Amino acid sequence: MSIRPPQPLRVTFVGVGAIGLPMAQQVAQAGHAVTGVDPSPERRTLAAEHGLVVEEIPSSAAEADAVVVMVATPDQLHAAALGEQGLLARMRQGTTLIVMSTVGPEPVRALEAPAAEHGVRLLDVPVTGGVGGAQKGALRLFASGAADVLEDSAELLGAMGTVVGCGDQVGRGQAFKAVNQLLCSVHIVAAAEALALAERLGLEQDAVLEAVSSGAAGSWMLADRGPRMLEGLDAEVRSAVGIFVKDSGMVAEIAGSLGLDAPLLHAAQAKYVEAADAGLIARDDSQVIQTYR
Amino acid sequence: MSIRPPQPLRVTFVGVGAIGLPMAQQVAQAGHAVTGVDPSPERRTLAAEHGLVVEEIPSSAAEADAVVVMVATPDQLHAAALGEQGLLARMRQGTTLIVMSTVGPEPVRALEAPAAEHGVRLLDVPVTGGVGGAQKGALRLFASGAADVLEDSAELLGAMGTVVGCGDQVGRGQAFKAVNQLLCSVHIVAAAEALALAERLGLEQDAVLEAVSSGAAGSWMLADRGPRMLEGLDAEVRSAVGIFVKDSGMVAEIAGSLGLDAPLLHAAQAKYVEAADAGLIARDDSQVIQTYR
C-alpha cells in the first residue's frame, strides 16, 4: 500500500466574508493555491493580509481545479455561477464547482443542467459550525453529489472540517442543512426564552444556566449562546442575528412549500425578525434574548 | 478525621408511581427503612414486590425521620400534607418534609407556614431525568431550603442522584425546574418538528438524526427522544405525553403570572395538548411527532 501525498490544487474561493475567509485560509494551510474573490475591497484587503491571492472578478476560475462558492443568498449564487461572465462559463471541463452557501435545495438543483452543459462537476456542501468552527477547520460539511466527485474532493473538503455524507444527489446536503437550521433556530430562541424566564423568576441566570445545561434540558446552543446572552448587547459577534433571519426564513419557506406546519420554527423566526426590527441585525444572535425584555 | 457511617433513616415515601417507586427503591438500597404510601392497590402491590413496606395511609410518618412527597399535582400535594390527617400533623417536630413533585414555586411556599407551625423542616427538591434516571439513582435534584436542613439530608438525597444547590429559600428549586421544563418541553417538540421536516424532504430520518445530533443542532432531548420518535406509536413509554401536558402548562402559567410572553413554550404546549386530544396522552412523549403527520 502506497501513501499518495495530497495533490496541491488550484482553488478559487468566491466569497471571503466572515466565514468564507477562515474557510479559505484552512484550504490554503492544507497546501493548496487559493485565490480569494470578493466584490468588497475591504474583504479583499483582509484576505490579502491573511496571505491569500485576491481578485475582484474570478478570472482565476479559468485555471482552477475547484471553485468554492460561499456567498450569502440564492441570487448571489446564481449571479456568480451563471451567464457569460459566470463561473461555469470560465471553468475548464472536468473541474468541480462546490456550493457551500446555505441556499436551500432548489437553487443548487437549478445549477445541475447548466453545469452539465459546461462539463463541470457539481457538489452541494453547505456547512454548520459558525465562524469558530471555520477558524479551527472544524465545520460539519453536509456533502452531496456524485460519489466519485465527492471522493475526488474529499481531501479538499476535509481541510475545512468533518464531511458528513448526505447522498449522491445535489440538494440533499441543503436538505440536511435545512433540518439542522430548524433545530439551531429554535434552540437559540429556546435558550433565550428560558433565561428570560429565569430572570423574571428572580433567579441568577448564570446559576440556572450552569444547573440546567448539562442535564436533560441541555443543547449545544444553550451551552454556546447562553453565556453570550448573559454578556449583553456587546457580546462578541460570532454569528449575527441577520444570519438566522435569513436561515429561519429559508427553512420556513421550504417547510411551507412541503405543506408542513412548523409552529416552533415560525415562533423562532418571528423572534429573529423582531430582533432585527429592533436594530439588532448585526449583533450576535444570542442577543435575540433582548426581545424578551 | 473520623468517617461517620451514614445513619439509616426511617423514610416515608408518599407516591410510589412510575418515578416514585424507583426513587424509593434507591433510598432503600442505600440502607434506609422505607415505607411506600400510595392510594392505588396496584402500586402498593408492585412496591411490596420490590421489597418495600407499604401502606395506604401514611401512619409511618409519625415515626419517620424524613417524609418524601412524590405526587403529581399541587392539589395532591396539599391534600397529602395539610389537614388533621395530613403529613404535617402526623410528623414529629424536627423531622423533614421533602417535596420532590414538580408543582411550581407557590404550592411549596404555601407549605412554609404550616410546616413551621408543626415544627417540621421543609425542603423543595424537584427532580429531572425521568424514569431512566430514577432507576439508576442518576436524577438531577434541584434542591432548595435552609442550608443546615439540606446538609442533614444530603446523604438521603444523594441516594437518588446529583444534588444541584438552588439556594436557601423553598420555591427556588421549583423555579429552577420550571426553567428546565421550558427547555425540555420545547426541545422535544423541536426534535419532532425537525424529523417531520426531514420526512417531508424525502430524507431518511435516521440518517438525518445521526448527521445533525452531534453538531450545533444537537440537544439532549434530540439524542434521547429522536430514536424513539422513529420507532413509532409503540415506542416504550419512558415519559408520557401527559407529563408534558402538565409540565408545559405549569410553566406557561408561571410565565404568564410573571408577564413573560413565551411563544416557543406556547407552541410546544399546544402540540402536547394536540397529541393528548388525538388519544396519545399515555404514549411516550416522543410520539408528539404524530401531530406533524
Question: Inter-chain contact B260–A129, Cβ cutoff 8 Å?
Answer: no
- Return the residue in A193, A204, A214, A288 with the most chain B beta carbons within 10 A, the one to mutate for interface testing: A193
Question: B272: closest CA among B190, B174, B201?
Answer: B190
Q: Mean pLDDT across the stretch A132-154?
A: 96
Question: Which of B215, B80, B98 is closest to B145 using CA atoms?
Answer: B98
Instruction: Please answer yes or no on whether B212 and A130 come within 8 Å at the CB atom.
Output: no
Q: pLDDT of B106-149, one tens digit each?
A: 999 999 999 999 999 999 999 998 888 999 999 999 999 999 99
**CA proximity to A125, closest of A151, A92, A163:** A163
Could you tell me the CA-to-CA distances from B264 to B33, B185, B189, B196, B270 in Å, in that order? 44, 9, 10, 17, 10
pLDDT one-digit tens code per residue, A76-97: 999 999 999 999 999 999 999 9
Nearest to A244 by CA among A217, A284, A279: A284
**What letters, b where the CB count within 10 A reaches 16 and e where it falls short, cover A193-214?**
bbbbbbbbbebebebbbebbbe
**pLDDT of B173 above 70:** yes
Q: Do A183 and B212 touch (CB under 8 A)?
A: yes
Nearest to A265 among B193, B201, B211 (CB): B193
Q: What is the pLDDT of residues A258-268, one digit of tens each?
A: 999 999 999 99
Phi, then psi, of B34 in degrees rounded to 5: -105, 130
Question: Domains along chain B?
Answer: 10-169 (3.40.50.720), 175-292 (1.10.1040.10)
What are the chain B neighbours of A203 within 8 Å (beta carbons)? 172, 175-176, 179
Tell me the C-alpha distance between A232 and A229, whole Å: 6
Confidence of residue A130 (pLDDT cuts 50, 70, 90): confident
In which residue are the cell numbers 475582484 written? A56
